[in-house]
Amino acid sequence: MDHRLLEIIACPVCNGKLNYIQDKQELICKIDNLAFPVRDGIPVLLENEARVLAAEESRP
């Protein structure tokens, strides 16, 4: 995914910064404990498409 894109996108729930997890192709919001999928390089920033992170996943 384009890193310039990563700089301009924000969590749709809290407007916070998202962390891109390349291995999982997910964008993570640590505030909301949500992981948004990245499909074919396109971030799907929809709350109803996100999955809730398990407690151990939200640790740094």
Residue 13 touching Zn ion (CB under 5 A) = yes
* Listed residue (36, 39, 31, 38) closest to 47, CA to CA: 36
Nearer to Zn ion by C-beta: 1 or 10? 10
Task: Identify the residue among 26, 27, 28, 29 touching Zn ion (CB under 5 A).
Answer: 29
Residue 11 touching Zn ion (CB under 5 A) = yes
What 23-29 contacts at long range (C-beta under 8 Å, 24+ apart), as own/partner pairs, is 28/53, 28/57, 28/58
* Binding site residues, Zn ion, CB under 5 A: 11, 13-14, 16, 29, 31-32
